Amino acid sequence: MTLLPEPTACLLLAAGLLAFSGLPGLLLRQPAAGQWIAAFVAVFASLLGESAVFQLLAGTAGAAYQLDWPLPFGPAEISVDHLSTLFLIPLFLVTGCVALYSLSYWPARDKSNAGRLTFFLGLFAAAMVLVLLARNGVLFLMAWELMALSAYFLLTAEQQDSEVQRVGTVYLLTTHTGTMALFVLFALLRGTVGSFLFPPTHTLSVALPAATVLLVAALIGFGGKAGLMPLHFWLPGAHANAPSHVSAMMSGLMLKMGVYGILRTSSFFTTLPPWLGWLLLVLGAWSAVNGIALAASQRDLKRLLACSSIENIGIIFIGIGLALVGMQTNAPILTTCGLFGAFIHIINHGLFKSLLFLGSGALIHGTGSREIDRMGGVAKRMPATSLLFLIGALAICGLPPLNGFVGELFLYVGAINDGINAPLPLAALAAPVLALVGGLAVITFVKLYGMIFLGSPRTAAAAGSHEAGGLMIGAMLVLAVGCLIGGMAPLLLVKLVAPAVSWYGGSNGDLAHQIRQQVPVMPLTALNSLLVALILALSAGYLLRLRKLPSSTGPTWGCGYLAPTPRMQYTGSSFSEMVVNLFGALVAPLRRRPALDMLFPPVGSSFCYAAAELVLDRVLTPIFSWIGWAFSYIRRLQHGQLHIYVLYIFATLFVLMIWAH
């Protein structure tokens, strides 16, 4: 460690390397070589970054650099604190994995746009690092917009495809509008504190006139980027149509930048208004339930994963909401547990969601399709992928012994503690909500895993699937191992986020130690290992029995039906149909079925089922068309009659004359 420069410089260096890692690919004659260089540089940068992160976690304070740029926004400060560190942990890990993954997923020799993609991928990662390091409003905005734009160019990699175009446009419009909210945020902040430099933490009084506007602007700008309901509508399409490794970074990392923004903004204030905590809690709960319900209704592998991102963001915000509520009802346990839960989940989601998206990339690579109902039986041909994907699925359902459980455990404990202590334990209702979300998550991912990997292939494409390349498997393996470690050794996760929690919660002392009184970290390790041991023991015993006993193979028992075909298998849509009906109000999928007026539907009639996008299809699009219609009337002013144009001039003159008097 001592060989390295101090952390901030390390991080800046890493960001610089990432930013330019793609250049050789654009300039070199052989793009393939360029891609390899880019990958190596990216991996190196990631290692450098992680080393810096661990220095910071070890307690080394990062320096603060003030560069006085000529722009009229005051000096630009760049520094790193515990909050940034928290988000940097998954950032570099995932970036490195994705860089390796892209080598065999998006090889320059097959894909003409690989150079461009690699370049923007590096830029994207670098921009995110800068977002986390910037301490000046305008610098932050620049990094932010750079991130958003490079994400746009990444997700429109296959810009020939009209669907990609559509979702890309929706994404671009949404993010830019959100940036306008950030314009307001930082301009108001400048007006309030008199400088574009971020104010020191816990200095602004909530009594300020601008406070409410500041927070609302932050909620809109950052919440939209995080995919918080109801500003989530851009997310499923964008994540689904981007190249999978890009989706992995967008979902695993970029969404978290929105969370970071809200945390950063709220950290400026000494105390926060009471409504904020509850609002975040409600929005989080809504996003969690609605997001996972949407996910259950999807037929597109990656749309499903995208919707579950909404759910996970919701869980994170439930945690933050609990924490804020705890702060104002001064319930320290609630605060600490909420923050621990949210922050741990931030890291975890970065791991398993990226893992799952990379896995989906492997699937698309192998089967050439995103339709869940067109796959099946893939596990036989893609054993490695199926195992890693299973780990991801278990983790995202929050099932022990994987890392997903740890974060949720903290949230439950916090909520139920509130149930014990608070006079009116409304926050405790987060627990049943989380339970519901957990149940839905199990439905969703059993559907996802079972329909894709298990059973028998539903199409020739699925039957002809092939295992992913070594680099892809390797990248996924790293993340999967991360999930396992996080689950088996929760203490590690606790130690990783403890500094950020104490930084944000303003509490002092060894939180990692204190929290252990509240939340069973060590017993969890013990029981998880016991669980794993039991599983191994039982399997061993079972296999021994099998060795001894006669065993034969045959077709699946068709319940008396003699000629079952793969197409008769239960499909994903039918698997989730029951629950989708239960949550019809939140999901409202489009169904078109033939009118059944006789015993059998008429020949050639078809049944169509498609997941709907409520906000976009039923709210925004109509509004837009209405506005367009209104505008078309105003356009008549430009009617091409010269003499009326001259009249405009004199009218203006006249009006101004009147105004003057």
Partner 1 sequence: MLYALVLVPLIGALVAGLVPDNRMRPLVLPVVATFHLCLSMILIMSPLAPTAGGWFWLDPLGKIVLLCISILFTVCAYYGVGYLRYRQERSNRVLCIGLLVCLAAMGLVTVSQHLGLMWVAVEATSVSMAPLIYFNKNARSIEATWKYLLICSVGIALALLGLLFLAYSTYVAHQDATLLLSGLLGVAGELNPGWLHAAVIFLLVGYGSKMGLAPLHTWKPDAYGEAPGMVGAMLAGGLVNCAFLAILRVYQICLASGSAELLFFQQVLVGMGLISMGFAAVFMARQADFKRMLAYSSVEHVGILAIGLGLGKGALFGALFHLLNNGLTKGVLFLTSGNIHRSYGSKTTEVVKGVLTRLPWTGGLFMAGFIAITGSPPFSPFISEYTIVSSAFIEGRYLVAALFLLFLVIVFIGMALTVLPMVMGAPPDNIEPTDYRDGLLTVGPPLVALALILVLGIWPPAFVMRLLHDGAALLGVQP
Partner 2 sequence: MTAIIIHCLIALLLPPLLLGVITKTKAAFAGRDGAPYFQPYYDLLKLLRKGSVFSTTTTWVFKAGPLVSLAAILVAALLVPLGRHQAPISFQGDMILFAYLFGLARFFTTIAALDTGSSFEGMGAAREVTFACLTEPTLFIALITLARMSKSLQLSTMLTYPTPAIWLAAGASMLLLVAALFIVLLAENCRIPFDDPTTHLELTMIHEVMVLDHSGPAFGVILYGAALKLLLLGAIFINIALPVSTGNPYGDWLVFVAAMLVLSVLIGVVESVMARLRMVRIPQLLVGATILSAFAMLLVLR
Partner 3 sequence: MNSLADQLLVLVMLINLVMLGSSRLIFSIRAVAVQGAILGILPGLIHPFSGHLAAITVGIILIKGIIIPYLISDAVRKAHIRREVEPFIGYVPTLFLGAIFTALAFVFAEKLPLAPEHKELLFVPASIATLLAGFLILTTRKKAISQVIGYLVLENGIFIFGLLLTEAMPFMVEAGALLDLLVGIFVMGIVINQISQEFSSIDTSRLRALKEE
* Residue 644 found at the interface with partner 3 (CB under 8 A): yes
- In the shown chain, the binding pattern of residues 407 to 426 toward partner 2, with x for contact by CB under 8 A and - for none, equals -xx--xx-xxx-xx---xx-
Smallest gap, in angstroms, from Cβ of residue 368 to partner 1?
A: 21
Task: Give CA–CA dist 57/498, Å, rounded.
Answer: 9
Task: Give CA–CA dist 304/300, Å, rounded.
Answer: 6
* Residue 146 found at the interface with partner 1 (CB under 8 A): yes
# residues contacting partner 2 (CB under 8 A): 83
Which H or E run includes 76? strand 76-78
Choice from 600, 629, 650, 659 touching partner 3 (CB under 8 A) = 650
* Residue 136 found at the interface with partner 1 (CB under 8 A): no
Backbone angles phi, psi at 609, to 5 degrees: -135, 125
Q: Which of partner 1, partner 3, partner 2, none does residue 400 bind to, with CB < 5 to 8 Å depending on kind?
A: partner 2
User: What type of residue is 378?
Assistant: V
The token duo for 621 is 């699009």
Identify which of residues 303 and 447 has a Cβ nearer to partner 2 in the complex. Answer: 447
Smallest gap, in angstroms, from Cβ of residue 633 to partner 3?
A: 9
Dihedral angle sign, alpha carbons of residues 445, 450, 453, 459: negative
Identify which of residues 549 and 637 has a Cβ nearer to partner 3 in the complex. Answer: 637
Identify which of residues 261 and 455 has a Cβ nearer to partner 2 in the complex. Answer: 455
* Residue 551 Ramachandran class (φ > 0 left, ψ -120 to 50 alpha, else beta): beta
- C-alpha closest to that of 326 among 373, 393, 274, 394: 274
Q: Which residue has the tokens 């009218």?
A: 651
Q: Which residue has the tokens 């169904």?
A: 591
* Residue 184 found at the interface with partner 2 (CB under 8 A): no
Q: Between vectors from CA 518 to CA 515 and to CA 524, what angle results, nearest 5°? A: 90
Q: Which of partner 1, partner 2, partner 3, none does residue 439 bind to, with CB < 5 to 8 Å depending on kind?
A: partner 2
Task: Give CA–CA dist 535/523, Å, rounded.
Answer: 18
Q: Which of partner 2, partner 3, partner 1, none does residue 647 bind to, with CB < 5 to 8 Å depending on kind?
A: partner 3
Residues 499-558 interacting with partner 3 (rule: CB under 8 A): none
The token duo for 354 is 């990226």
* Contacting residues for 166 by C-beta, under 8 A, at least 6 apart: 237
Q: Which of partner 2, partner 3, partner 1, none does residue 582 bind to, with CB < 5 to 8 Å depending on kind?
A: partner 2
Rg of the chain on CA atoms, in Å: 27
Backbone angles phi, psi at 363, to 5 degrees: -65, -45
Q: Which of partner 2, partner 3, partner 1, none does residue 636 bind to, with CB < 5 to 8 Å depending on kind?
A: partner 3
* Residue 638 found at the interface with partner 3 (CB under 8 A): yes
Task: Give CA–CA dist 394/483, Å, rounded.
Answer: 10
Residues 380-409 interacting with partner 2 (rule: CB under 8 A): 380, 386, 390, 394, 397-400, 405, 408-409
Choice from 29, 547, 548, 643 touching partner 3 (CB under 8 A) = 643
**3-class DSSP state for residue 28?**
coil
Q: Which residue has the tokens 């995080």?
A: 226
The token duo for 85 is 């560190």
* Residue 280 found at the interface with partner 2 (CB under 8 A): no
* Residue 555 found at the interface with partner 2 (CB under 8 A): yes
Q: Which residue has the tokens 């930082």?
A: 186
Residues 159-188 interacting with partner 1 (rule: CB under 8 A): 159-160, 162, 165, 168-169, 172-173, 176-177, 179-180, 183-184, 186-188
* Residue 635 found at the interface with partner 3 (CB under 8 A): yes
Task: Give CA–CA dist 115/46, Å, rounded.
Answer: 20
Identify which of residues 180 and 647 has a Cβ nearer to partner 3 in the complex. Answer: 647
Q: Which of partner 3, partner 2, partner 1, none does residue 412 bind to, with CB < 5 to 8 Å depending on kind?
A: partner 2
333 touches 355 (CB < 8 A): no
Smallest gap, in angstroms, from Cβ of residue 648 to partner 1?
A: 5
Q: Which of partner 2, partner 3, partner 1, none does residue 190 bind to, with CB < 5 to 8 Å depending on kind?
A: partner 1
Task: Give CA–CA dist 660/442, Å, rounded.
Answer: 71
Taking CB under 8 A as the binding criterion, the range among 20-28, 252-260, 378-386, 648-656 that sits at the site for partner 1 is 648-656
* Residue 640 found at the interface with partner 3 (CB under 8 A): yes
Task: Give CA–CA dist 265/53, Å, rounded.
Answer: 22
- In the shown chain, the binding pattern of residues 588 to 627 toward partner 1, with x for contact by CB under 8 A and - for none, equals ---------------------------------------x
> 3-state secondary structure string, 579-602?
HHHHCHHHHCCEEECCCCCCCCCC
Task: Give CA–CA dist 133/96, Å, rounded.
Answer: 19
* Residue 632 found at the interface with partner 3 (CB under 8 A): yes
* Contacting residues for 373 by C-beta, under 8 A, at least 6 apart: 299, 451, 458, 571, 572, 573
Q: Which of partner 3, partner 2, partner 1, none does residue 169 bind to, with CB < 5 to 8 Å depending on kind?
A: partner 1
Task: Give CA–CA dist 176/384, Å, rounded.
Answer: 40
# residues contacting partner 3 (CB under 8 A): 13
* Residue 642 found at the interface with partner 1 (CB under 8 A): yes
Choice from 121, 138, 391, 521 touching partner 1 (CB under 8 A) = 138
* Residue 451 found at the interface with partner 2 (CB under 8 A): yes
* Contacting residues for 470 by C-beta, under 8 A, at least 6 apart: 104
Smallest gap, in angstroms, from Cβ of residue 632 to partner 3?
A: 6
* Residue 1 found at the interface with partner 3 (CB under 8 A): no
Smallest gap, in angstroms, from Cβ of residue 657 to partner 3?
A: 10
Identify which of residues 38 and 611 has a Cβ nearer to partner 2 in the complex. Answer: 611
Taking CB under 8 A as the binding criterion, the range among 413-421, 507-515, 524-532, 649-657 that sits at the site for partner 1 is 649-657
Task: Give CA–CA dist 567/415, Å, rounded.
Answer: 45
Taking CB under 8 A as the binding criterion, the range among 34-42, 141-149, 150-158, 374-382 that sits at the site for partner 2 is 374-382
- In the shown chain, the binding pattern of residues 518 to 537 toward partner 2, with x for contact by CB under 8 A and - for none, equals xxx--xx-xx--xx--xx--
Q: Which of partner 1, partner 3, partner 2, none does residue 84 bind to, with CB < 5 to 8 Å depending on kind?
A: none
| Residues pairing with 592 in the sheet | 608
Using CA atoms, how far residue 93 sits from 46, 103, 115, 349, 413, in Å, is 6, 16, 22, 13, 29
32 touches 129 (CB < 8 A): no
136 touches 196 (CB < 8 A): yes
Q: How far apart are the first and last CA of the chain?
A: 75
Residue numbers at the binding site for partner 3 (CB under 8 A): 632, 635-636, 638-644, 646-647, 650
Residue numbers at the binding site for partner 1 (CB under 8 A): 69-73, 138, 141-142, 145-146, 149, 156, 159-160, 162, 165, 168-169, 172-173, 176-177, 179-180, 183-184, 186-188, 190-191, 627-628, 631-632, 634-635, 637-638, 640, 642, 645-646, 648-649, 651-653, 656-657, 659-660
